[in-house]
Amino acid sequence: MSANTYPVTVAPASTNKSTSGDLVSHLDAIIGAAIFDLSGLPQDYFTTSKSSDISWVQTIFQALGLQSLLVSSLRLEGFRLAVIHGKDCHAVVIRQRVRYVALLLEQSNLNYRSDNFIQWLHEFEPETLQSGDQFESA
């Protein structure tokens, strides 16, 4: 993914609660994941059998750096959510209390802009990736 060719969408945080039935469908849509610290430095990567490519993480790293620059230069309100659109997938990045979580999602029927999905992202624990058979630390 090239940072120059993918539009970024920024959305406000949601207040709706997710349901336990959403966990499986949300996890099934993930084909890659990356965890960043609050400085924007990558901490861990996860791949699946659907995609072992982690080159998209560079785009996320660049987007987090740009976000940091804009926030400090323009004194903007804090970052909530970004979606980077690709040809065959989307990368969704959300700021949690102690980290950024970036998920690479298949273009599927999953509505990554729904309040339900955004709330699920806010509550998402990266340990879920380590404990499942679907994900492998890269």
CB 44 within 8 Å of CB 126? yes
CB 63 within 8 Å of CB 47? no
Distance, CA of 67 to CA of 82 (rounded, Å)? 10
Q: Note the pLDDT tens digit of each residue in 42-100.
A: 999 898 888 878 888 888 888 888 888 877 788 776 667 888 888 888 899 998 889 99
Q: How many CA atoms lie within 13 A of 96 on its CB side?
A: 18
Instruction: Look at residue 61 and give its three-state secondary structure.
Output: helix
Q: Note the pLDDT tens digit of each residue in 68-84.
A: 887 778 877 666 788 88
CB 26 within 8 Å of CB 89? no
Asked if the model's pLDDT at residue 29 lies above 60, the reply is yes
Q: Sign (positive/negative) of CA torsion 114, 116, 119, 121? A: negative
Q: Which domains does the chain have, with CATH numbers?
A: 8-137 (3.30.450.30)
pLDDT (mean) for 36-43: 90
**Total-model pTM:** 0.75
Asked if the model's pLDDT at residue 12 lies above 60, the reply is no
Across 2-99, the runs of DSSP E, i.e. the strands, are: 8-10, 30-36, 42-47, 81-85, 89-95
Distance, CA of 60 to CA of 57 (rounded, Å)? 5
Distance, CA of 122 to CA of 103 (rounded, Å)? 12
